[in-house]
Amino acid sequence: MKNIFLFGECMIELMSASQGQSSNTMQQSFAGDVFNTAVYLKRTFADVQVNLVTAVGKDQFSLAMIQYFESENIAADLVFKSATRIPGLYSIQLDAQGERSFTYWRENSAARQVMQHIDDVATEQLSKGDMFFFSGISLAVIEPAARAEFWLLIDKLKAAGVQIVFDPNYRPRLWSGPEEAQAQFALALDKSDLSLPGVDDFEQLFGMTSVAEVYDYCKPFQVSELVIKNGEQSILVVVDGVSTEFAITPVANVVDTTSAGDSFNGVYLGARIEGYGVNDAITLASKAAGFVIQHRGAITPAEEFSVFIKAQLAAVAKFNKD
């Protein structure tokens, strides 16, 4: 059984009950980029051992959060419980086109101190994984003083043969300034075996507006597998220097883009760790993201997604057989 660890934060999510207009009624759930990725990976590839690495509190929200992880069959062995902190909180507002705006309350979240819990025992467990995934948000959330320790952990995992995966998910408000984020992203790309940058993130951080510019920036880091996402336009995959561009069929009924990238990442990584080729991995990941953005919220209803993704897996299998 393949084994992946996903390092980051899960938060309490509040979403306006009414899209495109103000509402005093909010729906509560749990979400976060790394957690969302874990959910879609596990829902699609049940045979992969999916582990979340984070910290929560001992409050009722935290206990409910852990129960939610377990209901999605995500291992919580490395979900640490802080005696003094609680999970972060964010709210989402959607406009009529399904585009998002966020408000965060996470300065004192338990996940900021997760590195305090990563001891030798935890490091040994992480070293037995096949893949370790983290994002730009993961980097931004942990306390700056703990980042040197985080990079030492990454070096140990690489030395143990664990594949390091980085999603440069950039949120300007989480950083003291773009220079801080640029320096950390450079370190991340330098240590990554697989990275999934998006043109939109690089536009915000570097002013880059094309796939070519993003590729030119990433090329010196010699990432073995680079998946450059350009929204609904295209995806460029570069594996060991060989480039393949994929066209994307836009979705007509976009309801909520909150978890588009996360669902793509989860299904793509699951497909690759399970031995699927790049073409099939892109097909499955793109279909999953297209399905997710036609639903409200970061996490779609489990049964609906299961029915959909099983049909996509069957279609890929049939195509390859024929």
C-beta separation of 80 from 94 below 8 A: no
Coil, strand, or helix at residue 309?
helix
Tokens 């993704």 correspond to what residue? Answer: 309
DSSP 8-class letter at 22: -
C-beta separation of 171 from 137 below 8 A: yes
The Cα–Cα gap between 304 and 308 comes to: 6
Count CB neighbours of 125 within 10 A.
16
The Cα–Cα gap between 225 and 194 comes to: 5
For residue 240, report the phi and psi dihedrals to the nearest 5 degrees.
Answer: 50, 40
The Cα–Cα gap between 157 and 122 comes to: 11
Count CB neighbours of 29 within 10 A.
13
Q: Are strands 49-56 and 79-81 parallel, antiparallel or unpaired?
A: parallel
Active site (annotated) includes residue 120: no
In the set 33, 167, 256, 262, the catalytic residue is: 262
Count CB neighbours of 72 within 10 A.
17
DSSP 8-class letter at 200: H
Q: Which residues pair with 169 in a beta bridge?
A: none
Q: Which two tokens stand for residue 3?
A: 């084994």
Q: Which residues are catalytic?
A: 262
